[in-house]
């Protein structure tokens, strides 16, 4: 049985995220403005995202998104494009707003490229729902994404697909050694959707 798809988004180093989070807090971002900011931004998902999310939702296959970004923004993006289905779970850095709706900090421990595994393990209660499932497709764009499915029990097989977007010459060999499939500069989910079409 197919247990789920794990999606991992762009990451930066810890100091950059801490600095960025502090700058956001200093700006006094208001919760009610978040939807408009996302709507007016140029944030896009990879081409083919509708088919990807909709197909997995139709089959009730869990989609876990681990991100070192800001979970509130990510959830708003996937909500606005109509793919934040009930089978989607986001593990990320979520904003903490005061009683007036002003950003006062972030909830929990900062999730960054080097501790995503810990974030995954904190979601182990969610993974418990997958006891009877055993196959995973893991999508990542950093070497730190490779162990995000470690919290899933009874895993028989994991297909690891890496999206290599930056420092290609420097990173290609490491990616080839670590991922089962490496997509260089790929902006679409065409291959992933083709795989899903074959196995579902």
C-alpha span between 142 and 67 (Å, rounded): 11
C-alpha span between 186 and 189 (Å, rounded): 8
The string of DSSP letters for the chain reads -EEEEEEE-----HHHHHHHHHHHHHHT-BGGGHHHHHHHS---PPBTHHHHHHHHHHTT--EEEEEEEEHHHHHHHHHHTT---TTEEEEEE-EEE-TTSBEEEESSSPP-TTTHHHHHHHTHHHHGGGTT--EEEEEESSGGGTTTTTT-SS--EEEEEEEE-SSHHHHHHHHHHH-SEEEES--B-HHHHHHHHHH-
When pLDDT is averaged across residues 54-74 and rounded to a whole number, the result is 90
C-alpha span between 82 and 148 (Å, rounded): 25
C-alpha span between 38 and 107 (Å, rounded): 20
Which pLDDT score is estimated for 15?
Answer: 56
The pLDDT mean for the chain works out to 83
pTM for this one? 0.82
Residue 194: is its pLDDT beyond 80? yes
Residue 118: is its pLDDT beyond 80? no
* pLDDT class of 112 with cuts at 50, 70, 90: low
Residue 119: is its pLDDT beyond 60? no
In order of 38, 39, 63, 140, 141, the CA distances from 42 in angstroms are 8, 8, 24, 22, 20
Which pLDDT score is estimated for 113?
Answer: 63
Which pLDDT score is estimated for 125?
Answer: 61
- Cβ of 177: how many Cβ atoms within 10 Å? 9
The tokens for 118 are 């810990």
| Distance, first Cα to last Cα, the chain | 10
């Amino acid at each position: 049985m197919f247990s789920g798809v794990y999606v991992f988004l762009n990451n930066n180093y810890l100091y950059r995220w801490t600095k960025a989070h502090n700058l956001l807090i200093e700006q006094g971002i208001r919760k009610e403005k978040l939807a408009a900011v996302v709507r007016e931004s140029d944030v896009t998902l990879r081409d083919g995202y509708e088919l990807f999310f909709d197909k997995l939702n139709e089959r009730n296959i869990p989609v876990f998104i681990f991100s070192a970004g800001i979970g509130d923004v990510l959830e708003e993006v996937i909500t606005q494009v109509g793919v934040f289905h009930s089978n989607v779970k986001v593990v990320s850095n979520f904003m903490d707003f005061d009683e007036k709706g002003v950003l006062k900090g972030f909830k929990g421990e900062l999730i960054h490229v080097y501790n995503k595994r810990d974030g995954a393990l904190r979601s182990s209660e969610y993974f418990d729902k997958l006891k009877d499932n055993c196959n995973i497709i893991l999508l990542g764009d950093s070497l730190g994404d490779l162990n995000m499915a470690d919290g899933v029990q009874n895993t028989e097989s994991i297909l690891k697909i890496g999206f290599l977007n930056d420092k290609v010459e420097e990173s290609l060999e490491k990616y080839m050694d670590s991922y089962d499939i490496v997509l260089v500069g790929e902006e679409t989910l065409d291959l992933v959707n083709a795989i899903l079409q074959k196995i579902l």
